[in-house]
Chains A and B, each alone.
Chain A
C-alpha cells in the first residue's frame, strides 16, 4: 500500500522547470538591471522561487532558491560576473531567499499531503458507507462475498477472499474452489483460533468477529513483503470486518429461522397425517369395543357367546395398542420430535404409568424405591409415561404371576449429573447375548412365542430415552431376572417456591 504522489511533472522535468524559471527571470531582468532597483530584481527572483516551490515541490524549490541566489549574485550584485560579494548585507538577502523557498515548500507539501489524506479518507468512508448500505440488504452469503470484494478493491486496491466455517466448523474458502489464488488455510485457522489478524504468504487475514462468535476470516491479497498499513487503513479494515461479521451473523440467523420454520412445517404435516390415520384406525376399534361391551352388558347371552364377545373386545383393544405403538414409532422415527419437557418429580410420571398398567400387573408384586434426594427431572411426561408403561407391560408379560417387579431410582453413583432408574424383575430373565438386540424394531425376546406383541415396545422406549439425552441398557441380574437401567441427565432444576408451613 502506498500513498498517491502529488499530481504534476515527474522529478527530472520538475528540476529542469525550476532551473528554467530562474533562467527566465535572469534573462528578463538583465536588460533592466540598470533601470531597476536591486530590491525589485530580488522580488522577481523571489517570485520564481515561490512559484517553483508551490508548483514543483520541495527539491525544485530549493534548487530554484540556490540558482536565484547564484544568478542574483553573479549578474546583478557588484562586482558583477563574479560570485564575490562586496556588501555583506546581501548575505541576508540570500538567506531570506533560501528561507522563503524552504518555508514555502514545506507549507505547500504539507497542505497537499493533508488534502491527499482527506481525499483518501473520504474515499474509504465512501467505500465503508456503500458497503454498510449494501450489506444491510444482503440476504445470502454470495451477495456478502461480492460486496466485500468490491469494498476491498475500492478501499485497498486489493483482492479479497472470504473463509467461512463449514458444517463441521472447519474454515473453508467461500465460494469453494478457485485454487489459483487462495489464502493459506492453516494460517487462517490460526487466526480464527487466536482471534488476531495475521499476515503471511502474501495474504493479510482479518478475523470476522460478530457479537456472538467468530463468523469467518477476511483475507486480503497484499503481495510479497511485509504488510504495511496506516492507522486509517487498519481502522477501516477493522470497521469493515465487523460490518461483514454482523451481516454474516444476520444471514446465519435467517437460515436458522428458515430451517426451524421448515422443520415446524414438516412436523406439523407429519402430526396431522398421523392424527388423521389414528382417527381413522381408532374409530372402528371404538365401535368394536363398545358393541362387544354392549353384548356382554345386555346380560342375556349364553355363557359361551358372552366369552366370544369378550374375546372380540380383547382383540380390538390389542389391535388398538398395536396401532398406538406403530403410530408412536412412526412419529419418533420420521424426524426430530419436539419434546414437551417440563420439570417434574419422577414419582408422578411413574405413578401415572403404574396406574395405567395396574390391570396387567394385578397378579404381580410391585415395589417402588425412590431415593429421597431425587431431583426434579426435565421430562416429556407423556412420552416418559410410555417408557415406563412399555417396560412394566413387558415385565408383566414375560414373568409368571406372583413375580416381583422392583423400580428403583437414585442419583447415579458413577456420574453426578445423572439419575439412574432401574426396573428389574425376578422372572426368567432376558435371552443371554441378545440384550442390546432387544431394542431393535420388530425384535422379540422369544420368537414365535405365545406371548402377543410385535417387538416395538422396547424400540419406542429407546427412542424416547435417547430423545431425552438418556441411555438405556438391558441385562440380567446375577440372582436371576431381567433388569433395565435408564440413565437420564439431571440438568439444572429450577428453584422451588418457598412457603411457610
Chain B
C-alpha cells in the first residue's frame, strides 16, 4: 500500500503541532508521531494554538474541534487568512455538518473519534506527502492502473485511452490534485460548475458515478474515488 510509505526521509524531520485539550489523547498522538520521525509541539487551547502555528512553523496541524476556549473552526478560518498549512481535524461530533463546516473553512481532512493509530498515521503521511510533492508535481499522475497525463489531457487505463467528458476530466484532475484531502460537495460544485450551482449536488453525484464506472474495477466498492457520506469525496491514490 502506498499509504505505508514513510514520511520523506530526506530533509529535516517534519514538525507537527497538536492542538487538543485531552492530555491522554495528546500523549498517544505524540508517541505515535514521534515513532514516525516527526517532531511534535502540543497545546490545549485555541488561542495558544494560533500563536504556536505562527511561531513554530509546523508542517502539519492536528486540531481537535471542541476546545475549551472556542470552536476549532474559528482557528482554521483565522489560520487560512495567512497560511496554507495542512490541517487534520479530529472530531468527536456526530453531525456531518460540523465536518463540512471545518472542511469548507479550509481543513484538509478529518478523523472521527475514536480512531486507531494506523488510521491516523495514514492520514498524516498523505497530508505531509501532499505538501512535499507540491513543489515537484510532474505532468503525469499515476494510481493503480490509471495514468492521468495533465499535459496531453489524456487518461489511460491499463494502457488504453479512456474517453472522459470535459466535466468528468475536470472532476478527475481536481480530485487528483487534492489526493489525500476530503473535498466537500460545495467545493467540487463551485470549482466545476461555478458558485451558482452549489445546491446541485445530484449533478456531482451522477458524474462521480460515471467516473467510477470508467475508472474503478468495482464501481460499487471504489478504491480511489471514495464517498464520505454527507460530506463529499476523498481521492486515494
Q: B188 within 8 Å of A by Cβ?
A: no
Task: Count how many pairs of residues, one from A and one from B, have CB atoms less than 8 Å apart in the complex.
Answer: 136
Q: A313 within 8 Å of B by Cβ?
A: yes
Does B114 lie within 8 Å of A279, measured CB to CB?
no
With contacts A291-B28, A382-B96, A497-B200 known, what are 9 further pairs, Cβ within 8 A? A283-B113, A286-B22, A290-B116, A298-B35, A327-B94, A343-B202, A347-B220, A496-B203, A501-B165
Interface of A is mostly: helix
Q: Give A342 to B202 CA distance when docked, in angstroms.
A: 7
Does A289 lie within 8 Å of B116, measured CB to CB?
yes
Q: Give A500 to B166 CA distance when docked, in angstroms.
A: 8
Output the nearest chain A residue to B226 by Cβ-Cβ distance: A355
Fill in one digit per residue for B105-145: 1 if any A CB lies within 8 Å of its CB, else 0. Answer: 00000000111111010000000000000000000000000
Q: B219 within 8 Å of A by Cβ?
A: yes
Q: Give A370 to B219 CA distance when docked, in angstroms.
A: 11
Does B93 lie within 8 Å of A278, measured CB to CB?
yes
Does A291 lie within 8 Å of B24, measured CB to CB?
yes
Q: Give A324 to B113 CA distance when docked, in angstroms.
A: 11
Does B32 lie within 8 Å of A293, measured CB to CB?
yes
Count chain A residues whose beta carbon lies closer than 8 angstroms to a beta carbon of B.
Answer: 53
A289-326: which residues lie under 8 A (CB-CB) from chain B? 289-291, 293-294, 297-298, 313, 316-317, 320, 324
Interface window among B11-19, B147-155, B176-184, B204-212: B204-212
- Least Cβ–Cβ distance between B82 and chain A, in angstroms: 29
Partner among A274, A348, A351, A352 whose Cβ is within 8 Å of the Cβ of B94: A274
Does A348 lie within 8 Å of B35, measured CB to CB?
no
Does A354 lie within 8 Å of B28, measured CB to CB?
no
Fill in one digit per residue for A342-362: 1 if any B CB lies within 8 Å of its CB, else 0. Answer: 111101111110110010000
| Contact A283-B209, Cβ < 8 Å, known A313-B116, A382-B229 | no
- A-side interface residues toward B, CB under 8 Å? 271, 274-275, 278-279, 282-291, 293-294, 297-298, 313, 316-317, 320, 324, 327, 340, 342-345, 347-352, 354-355, 358, 366, 368, 370, 376, 380-382, 385, 494, 496-497, 499-501
Q: Give A324 to B28 CA distance when docked, in angstroms.
A: 23
**Interface centre among A324, A340, A344, by most B CB within 10 Å?**
A344
Q: Which of chain A's residues have a CB closer than 8 A to the CB of B28?
A: 287, 290-291, 293-294
Q: Give A243 to B37 CA distance when docked, in angstroms.
A: 78
Q: B158 within 8 Å of A by Cβ?
A: no
B179-232: which residues lie under 8 A (CB-CB) from chain A? 200-203, 205-206, 208-209, 219-222, 226-230
Output the nearest chain A residue to B213 by Cβ-Cβ distance: A347
Q: Give A271 to B203 CA distance when docked, in angstroms.
A: 30
| Contact A320-B114, Cβ < 8 Å, known A286-B25, A293-B32 | yes
Q: Give A382 to B112 CA distance when docked, in angstroms.
A: 14
Does A286 lie within 8 Å of B32, measured CB to CB?
no
Does B230 lie within 8 Å of A283, measured CB to CB?
no
Does A499 lie within 8 Å of B220, measured CB to CB?
no
Q: Give A480 to B115 CA distance when docked, in angstroms.
A: 38
Q: Give A271 to B96 CA distance when docked, in angstroms.
A: 12
Does B66 lie within 8 Å of A279, measured CB to CB?
yes
Does B114 lie within 8 Å of A290, measured CB to CB?
yes
